[in-house]
Amino acid sequence: MLATFIPSMAFSFLRRENLQGELAEASSRMRFPFVYSADQHGNESQYRQLVQAAIATGARAIVVGGDLAPKHQERDFIGVQRAFLDARLPEIFSGYLEAVPSGKVFVMLGNDDAKSNDDVLSKHADILTPIHQKRIALTGDLDIVGYAVVPVTPFGVKDWEKFDLSTVRDAEKKAYQKLARSWCLDGLLSHGNRWHEIRLNPQDAGGNSIERDLSSPLFTEKPGSTVYVFHAPPFNTNLDRLHGGEPVGSIAIRRFIEDHQPLLTLHGHIHETVDASGSHTNVIGQTVSMSPGNMPEDKHAKAILVDAYNPHSATRITLNF
């Protein structure tokens, strides 16, 4: 099944005096507006912009789809991330909940976040609602489900990585073999405040893969009334493009979308994909899939303002508060 290309309808609100009015007008036509972004990597300015955008639109929720914490190179990588998740992130999002008491902040870690810090999110359940491998009510009749795992990368942190497929179909072999050439199998897993060396074994893919995970009832039930937040994007779409145009997304996630036709899927992980593809949106069958294409080093965050009941009306926004 071919993906439908939709030209980017990104709205840059930079240098406009009436930013809040523009956003409020866009959201006023939405039944359940929420703001989605990903890949902040600890950029507090971007988080605060996200909060202000949600307040300005009267968004009913904020959703952040992975790579929450700073990506530091110093020795105490895990500790620095833990301190950020435990202190800074709840403080930032508390401002949104003060302004919108009925709102929700849905979050999950990403492949650059140490998995041993995942417990910190639940510690702040009054502010943050973790969604990785959980099904939670988004509205009275829509759910949200998160999945932080990504296919094996060329990078060293392996906490959130799995082999993409347990079974490779004939039509996928060439693409999967090409993706496999970029795998780094040697890396690190976090345990407490320490890293442990690991080597991933491709023979384990038969019983432990993204494909296997997505076949569970947690993911397969009620797809038409579920918003899925996948840190990884689906393969060979507008959402998984490197600067050179190479697709690097998940074949398993694309299969899941083709087979189950979810209401909406939200993605991140590939920061440059919107610049590379020209669009923040992809349609596979009836499913709308989106990525904000957020660059964590940028001054201004990229986000998507979306109506849970009408994903086709979503707009990508560049935030300047």
Q: Which domain holds residue 292?
A: 4-318
Measured at the alpha carbon of residue 301, what is the angle toward residues 31 and 254, in degrees to the nearest 5? 65
Q: What is the pTM of this model?
A: 0.93
State both tokens at 195: 């890293």
Q: Average pLDDT of each block of 10 consecutive residues along the chain (321 residues)?
A: 36 46 77 97 97 95 98 81 97 98 98 97 97 98 98 97 98 97 96 95 96 98 98 98 97 98 98 97 97 96 97 91 70
Instruction: Determine the distance from the C-alpha atom of residue 21 to the mean position of all C-alpha atoms in its chain, rounded to a whole number.
Output: 27
Helices and strands (H, E) in the chain, number of each type:
10, 18
What pLDDT score was predicted for residue 74?
61
What pLDDT score was predicted for residue 18?
55
| 3-state percent helix, strand, coil for the chain, nearest multiple of 5 | 30, 25, 45
Structural domain count of the chain = 1
User: What is the C-alpha to C-alpha distance for residues 280 and 68, in angstroms, rounded to an integer?
Assistant: 20
State both tokens at 191: 């345990």
Can you tell me whether residue 22 is helix, strand or coil? helix
CA distances from 183 to 108, 158, 178, 227 (A): 24, 11, 10, 29
What pLDDT score was predicted for residue 25?
78
What pLDDT score was predicted for residue 114?
97
CATH code of the domain in which 197 resides:
3.60.21.10
Which residues make Cβ contacts (< 8 Å) with residue 152, sequence separation at least 6?
A: 161, 162, 163, 164, 180, 183, 184, 185, 200
Burial track 182-204 (b if 16+ CB lie within 10 A, e otherwise): eeeeebbbbeeeebeeeebeeee
One-letter amino acid at 144 equals I
